[in-house]
Amino acid sequence: MRVSHFVLTAPLVLSLIAAASSASAQDIPAGAAACSGCHPLGRTVATAVPKLAGRNAAEMVAAMQAFRAGQRPGTVMDRIAKGFTDDEVRAIAAWYAAQKE
């Protein structure tokens, strides 16, 4: 039983450790650590997913609102966007905009 508990919590712990390595956990708003799973902070990470670090916060907020409203197609972002409040989206966008690669 303990092994299955570890399996369920290990990805969460690893995500938190990875997020804490790029900035202190106090600086990261709720939800932003989850974003870095697909939207990496590092320049050296090759991905087809757009990087968010340093992008305009207002544009990120508008994109999230469009995903939420179904006005912007996405493979998973339309569903992910619905899980955040407007305040959370603004906080995440502001944090990513402040990150420098």
pLDDT at res. 16: 38
Which one-letter amino acid corresponds to residue 40? P
Predicted pLDDT of residue 81? 92
pLDDT one-digit tens code per residue, 19-77: 444 444 458 887 888 888 888 887 677 888 888 999 999 999 999 999 999 999 888 99
Q: Which residues contact 33 (CB under 8 A, 6 or more apart)?
A: 15, 16, 18, 19
Alpha helices of the chain — where are they, by DSSP H? 2-22, 32-35, 57-69, 77-81, 86-98
Give the pLDDT confidence score for residue 101 in this predicted structure. 61
Token duo for residue 62:
């508008």
Domains of the chain: 2-98 (1.10.760.10)
pTM for the structure as a whole: 0.68
